[in-house]
Amino acid sequence: MLFNSPLFVGFYLVVFLLYWGLRHPRPQNLLLIAASYVFYGTWSWKFLLLLMASTLIDFGCGLAVDAARDPTRRRAFLAASVTANLTLLGVFKYAGFFTHEAADFLAALGVTLQPWVLHIVLPVGLSFYTFQSLGYVIDVYRRKLPAVRRLDEYALYVAFFPQLVAGPIERATHMLPQYRAPRVFNVAALESGLMLMAWGLFKKMVIADNLAPYVNHVFENPTAFSGGGLVTAVVFFAFQIYCDFSGYSDCARGVARTLGFDLMVNFNLPYFSQNPVEFWRRWHISLSQWFQDYLYFPLAMRFMRRGGFASKYKAHIISFALIGLWHGANWTFIAFGLYWGLLIAGYLYIQERLSDLPDDSALVFRSAGGAAAVLRAALSMLITFTITCLGWLLFRADSLTTAWQVLERIVAGAPGATQLVRADVMGAGWLWLMVIGLWSCEWVYRYYPASLELVAGSPARRLVWRQALLVGILLSYFASQQGKSLPFIYFQF
C-alpha cells in the first residue's frame, strides 16, 4: 500500500475517523496496531508473520535484559537480539549476494561450484524495523530506559504504519511516551499534517516521478549519451532520490501528526550543506544517528584506546562502509559507503591540520565577512553538492563498471545524445525548471521556516494560503503526471 495510491487514501480516512472516535490511548493503540498490520499485510501475509516474529523476539529480549542482574546474562540476551536481527537481514537481504560472490571467487581460482540459493523476496521495510527494534534492546541494555511491559505498546512502536516501511528509524525514548500519553484532536495539527502530506506527495509525484524516466533511460545505456547528458542525469538523480525519500518522510510525519504523534525530522535541507560532515547531519538523519550512537562511538572509543595515527578515522570508514551495505547487497553500495567514509575521514584530517596552524595562518581559512562570506558559503555548497553527486553516481549505477564508464565519459566530455526523445519522458528543460523551482522553495524555507507549514498570520490568511498551495500542488500534479504511481525508492532497502 503506497502513500501515493487511492487505496491508501481510503485506508487513511477509515483509520482517521475510527481513531478519533475512540477516547483513550489503549483502544487507540490497539486500533493502530491492527491498522498497521493490515497496511503491512497488503504486501504479503508472510512479511507480516516475519514482522510479528521480530516483534516477539525483541520484546522478550528486552524484558530478559532488563530483568537480568548478572552482566554475563545481560550480554547474552543482548547478543540473542543482535543475532536474531542480523540473521533476518543476512538470510533475506545478503545471503544470495555473498553466496554468488563466493562462487565467483572460487571459479576464478579454478574451483567450480554451483551455489544453492533460496530465491527469497526481500521483505519491504526489513532494514528499518529491525534497526528500530534492535536500537530499543541496546537502549534497555545501556539502561537508557526500562523494558516495555506491555506487548501492545511495543508492537505499536515497531509497526506504526506511517514510518514502518521507510522510516524514520525512531527511538523508543522518543515514541513510547507518546504512545502512552492521551491524545487530543487538534485542528492546527491536522492542518499542518495535511500540508506536510501534500508537500511530500508533491515532491514524490510531481518531481521525483518525472525525473525517474529520464534518469532510468540514461543509465540503461550510458555510453549512448554525451558527457553533458550524463551530468544532467546524475544531477537529476540527486534530486530524484531526495524528493522521493524526503517526500516519503514528509508524508509519514504528516500522517503521524494528524493522529497526534510527532516523528523526527529525517531531512533538513541537505543540499545546502557546506561540507561532507554537515551533509550527513542533514541527510537520512535517523540512520546517521543510529550508526553514530550504536556503532561509531563504540568503535571510536576502542580505536582511540589502541592509539595510532589513523585510529580515530577507522571508525568513520567502517561505519560508512556498513551504512553503504545497509542499503543493499551490491558492490556499488559498499563503494558508496567507503567513498563517504574516506571522504569524511580526509575532511576531518584536513580540519585538524588547519586547527594546528598558527593563529594568523588559520585566520585566512576561517574568517571572512560580507560578500566574501557569502561567496565562500556558495562555493562550499557547490563543492559539497558536486562530491555528493559523485556519491550518487555510485549509488545509482547497476555496477562499478557502469559507474566508471559514466565518470570516464563525463571527464572526457564524450560525444553522444544530449537529450531524450521519448513520449514518457518530460523534456530536460521542464525537468531543470522543476529542480531549480524546488531549490528556490527550499531556499525560502531555509530562511522563513514557517512558510511551508503556514503557521503564521491570522486564521483567515492561513486558510487562504493553504488552499492556494493545495490548488497549486493539485494543478502541478495533473499537469505533470504520466499516469503512473511509482513505488518509493527506499522501499527496496
Q: Which of 24, 119, 316, 327 is catalytic?
A: 327
From the list 199, 190, 144, the residue with the least C-alpha distance to 171 is 144
- Residue 327 appears among annotated catalytic residues: yes
Residue 239 pLDDT: 96
One domain, residues 159 and 246: no
User: CA 305 to CA 314: how far, in whole Å?
Assistant: 13
From the list 190, 180, 120, 116, the residue with the least C-alpha distance to 146 is 180
For residues 294 and 315, the answer to whether their CB atoms sit within 8 Å is no
Final residue of a domain: which of 168, 184, 200? 184
Determine the average pLDDT of the residues in 72-95.
Answer: 89
Q: Which of 187-191, 344-348, 450-454 has the lowest mean pLDDT?
A: 450-454
One domain, residues 138 and 195: no
Q: Which of 23-32, 43-52, 254-263, 354-363 has the lowest mean pLDDT?
A: 354-363
User: CA 339 to CA 391: how far, in whole Å?
Assistant: 7
Final residue of a domain: which of 152, 184, 216? 184
Number of residues written out for the chain: 493
Question: Does the residue 403 lie in any domain?
Answer: yes
Whether pLDDT at 199 is above 80: yes
Which residues, in sequence order, are CB contacts of 289 under 8 Å at separation 6+? Answer: none
Question: Which tens digit of pLDDT belongs to each residue from 457-481?
Answer: 556 555 555 666 665 565 555 555 5
Whether pLDDT at 71 is above 80: yes
One domain, residues 169 and 218: no
One domain, residues 120 and 203: no
Question: Does the residue 148 lie in any domain?
Answer: yes
> Where would I find the H helices in 356-416?
359-366, 371-396, 400-412
Determine the average pLDDT of the residues in 63-75.
Answer: 93
One domain, residues 391 and 279: yes
Q: What is the pTM of this model?
A: 0.89
Whether pLDDT at 144 is above 90: yes
Question: Does the residue 448 lie in any domain?
Answer: yes
Q: Which of 186-200, 227-241, 455-469 has the lowest mean pLDDT?
A: 455-469
Which residues, in sequence order, are CB contacts of 186 under 8 Å at separation 6+? Answer: 260
How far separated are the first and last CA of the chain, in Å rounded? 16
One domain, residues 196 and 86: no
One domain, residues 327 and 204: yes
One domain, residues 209 and 134: no
Question: Does the residue 1 lie in any domain?
Answer: no
User: CA 270 to CA 385: how far, in whole Å?
Assistant: 9
One domain, residues 437 and 354: yes
Question: Which tens digit of pLDDT belongs to each residue from 302-325?
Answer: 877 776 656 678 888 999 999 999
Q: Provide the 8-state DSSP code for 118.
A: -
In sequence order, the β-bridge partners of residue 21 are none
Whether pLDDT at 267 is above 60: yes
Residue ranges making up the domain that contains 74: 6-184
Question: Which tens digit of pLDDT belongs to each residue from 409-426?
Answer: 888 877 776 667 565 677
- Mean pLDDT for all residues in the chain: 84
One domain, residues 159 and 195: no
Residue 455 pLDDT: 47
Percentage of residues of the chain with pLDDT beyond 70 = 80
Question: Does the residue 27 lie in any domain?
Answer: yes
Residue labelled with grid coordinates 526481500: 122
From the list 392, 442, 387, 366, the residue with the least C-alpha distance to 276 is 387
Question: Which tens digit of pLDDT belongs to each residue from 364-415?
Answer: 445 556 678 888 888 999 999 999 999 999 999 999 999 999 999 888 877 7
One domain, residues 87 and 166: yes
Q: What is the number of structural domains in the chain?
A: 2
One domain, residues 217 and 120: no
Final residue of a domain: which of 184, 200, 228? 184
Question: Does the residue 248 lie in any domain?
Answer: yes
For residues 77 and 64, the answer to whether their CB atoms sit within 8 Å is yes
